[in-house]
Amino acid sequence: MIRSARSMAGLPWIAAMAFFMQSLDATILNTALPAVAQSLGRSPLAMQSAVISYTLTVAMLIPVSGWLADRYGTRKVFIVAVSLFILGSLACALSGSLSMLVISRVIQGIGGAMMMPVARLSLLRAYPRSELLPVLNFVTMPGLVGPILGPLLGGVLVTYATWHWIFLINIPIGMLGIFYARKYMPNFTTLRRRFDLLGFILFGLGLVLLSCGIELFGEKIVSGMMATSVLVCGVLLLLLYITHARRHPSPLIGLPMFKIRTFSIGIIGNIASRLGTGCVPFLMPLMLQVGFGYPAIIAGCMMAPTAIGSLLAKSTVTQVLRWFGYRNTLVGITIIIGMFISSFALQSPGMEIMVLILPLFILGMAMSTQFTAMNTITLADLTDDNASSGNSVLAVTQQLSISFGVAISAVVLRFCEQFDGTVVQHFHTTFLIMGGVTILSALVFMQLKPVDGRNLITNRDQPRQKT
């Protein structure tokens, strides 16, 4: 069946909804953990499994989403994914014990692992590369708001309603997504390929152990030797996957696509630069509460300027890229982001509120520009044959790099606590270090050529008509 332009126009809205649900759910539970723990009769310190179970499930199953979409079709897999996410959300709200909540979060994670990657894969196949920039620019807007809105909304719902509503709000949004997916989403498929079970075990388990190892360093719940062992095991499994993929005729994640220069630079740049940007939503609310003495709901509101800046910058990203090109934009904006992260070391409890808010607003604009440019240049030169695998790798990278940013900044903060000084000074040192790491990550984008990404911002082809 031929898809009309009107029908295709609904696809970015579906992807935006999926991105918002996933990013909101990843952060909304954090603020509500004490209330959930009290309701379930557990200590708040024992509730981390409810957060980690979701994150690890998503990280492990994202690579499978591409294979499922190729085999059964993007629309069918997306509808199943959203249905599982809704079912998991309802089960979370009805949970009467921590064990039940963890199981429900795993069900949520299975759906969350497929929602956004499959939606973005549909966009990648529905639109030519010349249309990809404005489309992905639109889709990422709700995803930028989710991590900022999550902690604030979680605090409001816990304060004025009950913790159950942090899960129940997913149900009407998900039902709306299923309705529009049935109406607007194409069911793209490709030639069937055999599922790489061994590759899935090596790659998925390697990612889980790598993520757990970094988390263990940050949380300090086990010895440093144990955390190092987990981290090394994760790296070894990923190296074993590389050896396996070179020999397998149809691996889960194909290695030849890493020979595409823009893709490799985009993936490495995502990991390196998000170490800094991923720490800001974690460190800033902590510094405002622990260091400056702000209440939790005020600290949550203080992050709103970042979201507002992100949204406003979306209207200018395309023009900025046309003026300066991808290479100059990514190098320059990454340095600017690093400088602003470092500038938080100059903030003190006695400062005027506007002095605290303005840098967060500008940082939001810069981060929005960087994320859009990074994502589009990563996908720019992929073909229909490797679009599925490349999209999965990008999704895994984004999911894990944010966690890495939080975990590594926590390690740095705890390291700083070993030295003399006030709590605020420890936060200041951490921001300086993470800002420096971000500035150094600009070296990755210097490997781009001035002509890279030009096809994304100069050609004005019409969207492809898909069956």
Res 344: pLDDT? 93
Q: Is 293 left (phi over 0), alpha (psi -120 to 50) or beta?
A: left
Low-confidence residues of the chain: pLDDT under 50 = 1-6, 459-467
Res 162: pLDDT? 84
3-state secondary structure of 394: helix
Q: Which one-letter amino acid corresponds to residue 429?
A: T
Query: Under 8 Å CB-to-CB from 303, ≥6 apart: which residues?
Result: 148, 151, 152, 281, 284, 285, 360
Residue with tokens 């263990």: 216
Res 363: pLDDT? 92
Res 383: pLDDT? 80
Q: How many CA atoms lie within 13 A of 358 on its CB side?
A: 7
Question: Which of 357, 223, 259 lies closest to 301 in space, CA to CA?
Answer: 357
Q: Which helix (H) or strand (E) holds 250?
A: none
Q: Is 348 left (phi over 0), alpha (psi -120 to 50) or beta?
A: beta
- Is the Cβ–Cβ distance between 400 and 176 less than 8 Å? no
d(CA 72, CA 52): 29
Res 12: pLDDT? 86
CB atoms within 10 A of CB 273: 29
Helix-strand-coil split of the chain, %, nearest 5: 80, 0, 20
0.85 surpassed by pTM: no
Question: Which of 60, 50, 233, 147 lies closest to 406 in space, CA to CA?
Answer: 147
Question: Which of 106, 103, 104, 95 lies closest to 39 in space, CA to CA?
Answer: 95
CB atoms within 10 A of CB 267: 22
d(CA 264, CA 425): 37
Please compute Rg for the chain using Cα positions: 21
Cα 194–chain centre separation: 29
CA distances from 243 to 62, 166, 197, 232 (A): 21, 43, 15, 17
- Is the Cβ–Cβ distance between 51 and 29 less than 8 Å? yes
d(CA 291, CA 351): 13
d(CA 160, CA 158): 6
Res 147: pLDDT? 64
Res 385: pLDDT? 74
Res 64: pLDDT? 85
